């Protein structure tokens, strides 16, 4: 059993100084090389539908393809400053925040608006980089998964992810005002997922953890943004993402039922590492604070460690935890992952609906409901 220090490189998952100490050493690179350590597997068993749930998902995916160039209305003009003044993005703290004696003391509306704009540039940049991670991971799954139905499905996801990278990049380039490099915590996680030689770890890291969080994050942004093009873009992307998460749940459920406790422990540890890396990435927009010229630690303590902000971050795990439960990852080895999820404050979602069950609700044309603050308080 690994210690938190061995898994995360720090003994306390919540140690803010250690989280802040992670430096983005790759921020100036143009290409990034990762060794993927995997074997490509041919299968001579071509029986289509041997795994009916995956086959069904594949058939759905073929009918659900869309075109980012023609299905989205790129003629919509986006006024980032006006949107920032409405205070809808995550930059602006509650009006009740007392900034006396803090790094924000001299800030006027101008700085708060600039912060809001940078937060949006940052968030969309991370979405774009994460989508490229998904593109690479699903191309790897096509090679490494031993089942024909999964290879077929994963190939549709490769196309989906290419489209997602494309639309986020176009939105950033034509509607927003600047890119950010991949955040260090997200980058470490994507590298770990791609470097792992075991085919199911690509699924666990990408489909269950990264895409589970993305599905929740896109949902909140879709619900909160008044900007019609972004709303439309996110709605289209979410219709694909729900299928991708369901693909992970359906594939791993079969595989994990056969694993030993020791093998399950390795998956539990990997899921915990992924959860913490993503939590760290959502908590710390260090690069934005640097660009705004304020000390990151103080800014984070004032704006990110508030109860409202922490609750929002917790809600991002509302897809991941029920999906981990469905895969049987919470309870083996004396409830190892259950205890870790308790430590980082997200276990309360375990009985929420899993994505294998709710995938059809995300299809285009359906009304999507998102969990509310009242919902979480009641759970």
Q: Enumerate binding residues for Fe ion (CB under 5 A).
A: 131, 134, 161, 164, 211, 241, 244
SS3 (DSSP) at 325: helix
Distance CA(303)–CA(310), nearest Å, equals: 10
Nearest distance in Å: CB 354, Fe ion:
17
State in angstroms the smallest separation of the CB of 214 from Fe ion. 7
- Closest to Fe ion by CB, 241 vs 287, is 241
Within its chain, how far is the Cα of 34 from the centroid? 20
Q: Which is nearer to Fe ion, 84 or 274 (CB)?
A: 274
3-class DSSP state for residue 77?
coil
| 141 close to 203: Cβ distance less than 8 angstroms | yes
Measured from the CB atom, the residue of 83 and 208 that comes closer to Fe ion is: 208
Handedness of CA 211, 217, 223, 229 (dihedral sign): negative
First to last CA, the chain: 31
Q: Which residues contact residue 202 at a Cβ distance below 8 angstroms, ignoring those fewer than 6 apart?
A: 137, 140, 141, 144, 193, 194, 196
Q: Which two tokens mark 302? A: 């004032």
Q: Smallest distance from the beta carbon of 110 to Fe ion, in angstroms? A: 35
Using an 8 Å Cβ cutoff, are 83 and 89 in contact? yes
Question: How would you label 227-243 residue by residue, b for 16+ Cβ within 10 Å and e otherwise?
Answer: bebbbbbbbbbbbbbbb
**Shortest separation between residue 134's beta carbon and Fe ion, angstroms:** 5
Pick from 152, 193, 166, 136: nearest CA to 60: 152
Question: At closest approach, how far in Å is the CB of 78 from Fe ion?
Answer: 21
CB-wise, 137 or 229, nearer to Fe ion? 137
Cβ-based nearer residue to Fe ion, 4 or 132: 132
Q: Which is nearer to Fe ion, 117 or 213 (CB)?
A: 213
Provide, rounded to whole angstroms, the least separation between the CB of residue 213 and Fe ion: 11
Q: Give the nearest distance from C-beta 161 to Fe ion in angstroms.
A: 5
Task: Closer to Fe ion by CB, 13 or 61: give it.
Answer: 61
């Amino acid at each position: 059993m690994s210690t938190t220090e061995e898994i995360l490189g720090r003994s306390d998952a919540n140690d803010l100084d250690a989280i802040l100490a992670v430096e983005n050493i790759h921020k100036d690179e143009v290409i990034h090389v990762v060794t993927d350590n995997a074997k490509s597997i041919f299968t001579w068993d071509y029986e289509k539908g041997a795994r009916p749930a995956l086959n069904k998902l594949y058939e759905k995916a073929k009918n659900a393809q869309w075109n980012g160039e023609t299905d989205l209305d790129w003629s919509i003009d986006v006024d980032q400053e006006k949107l920032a003044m409405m205070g809808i993005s995550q930059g602006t703290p509650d009006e009740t925040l007392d900034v006396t004696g803090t790094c924000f003391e001299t800030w006027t509306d101008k700085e708060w608006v600039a912060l809001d704009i940078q937060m949006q540039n940052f968030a969309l940049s991370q979405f774009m980089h994460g989508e490229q991670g998904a593109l690479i991971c699903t191309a790897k799954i096509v090679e490494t998964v031993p089942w024909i139905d999964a290879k077929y499905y994963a190939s549709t996801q490769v196309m989906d992810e290419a489209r997602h990278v494309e639309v986020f990049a176009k939105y950033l380039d034509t509607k927003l005002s600047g890119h950010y490099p991949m955040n260090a915590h997200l980058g470490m996680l994507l590298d770990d997922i791609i470097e792992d030689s075991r085919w199911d770890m690509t699924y666990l890291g990408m489909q269950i953890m990264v895409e589970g969080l993305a599905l929740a994050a896109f949902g909140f942004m879709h619900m909160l943004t008044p900007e019609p093009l972004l709303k439309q873009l996110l709605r289209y992307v979410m219709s694909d993402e729900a299928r991708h998460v369901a693909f992970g749940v359906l594939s791993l459920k079969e595989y994990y039922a056969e694993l030993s406790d020791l093998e399950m422990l390795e998956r539990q540890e990997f899921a915990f590492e992924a959860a913490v890396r993503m939590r760290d990435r959502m908590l710390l927009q260090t690069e934005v604070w640097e660009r705004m010229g304020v000390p990151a630690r103080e800014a984070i303590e004032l704006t990110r460690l508030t109860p409202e902000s922490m609750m929002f971050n917790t809600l991002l795990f509302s897809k991941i935890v029920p999906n981990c439960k469905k895969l049987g990852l919470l309870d083996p080895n004396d409830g190892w992952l259950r205890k870790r999820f308790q430590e980082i404050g997200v276990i309360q979602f375990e009985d929420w609906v899993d994505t294998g069950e709710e995938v059809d609700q995300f299809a285009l044309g359906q009304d999507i409901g998102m969990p509310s603050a009242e919902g979480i308080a009641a759970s």
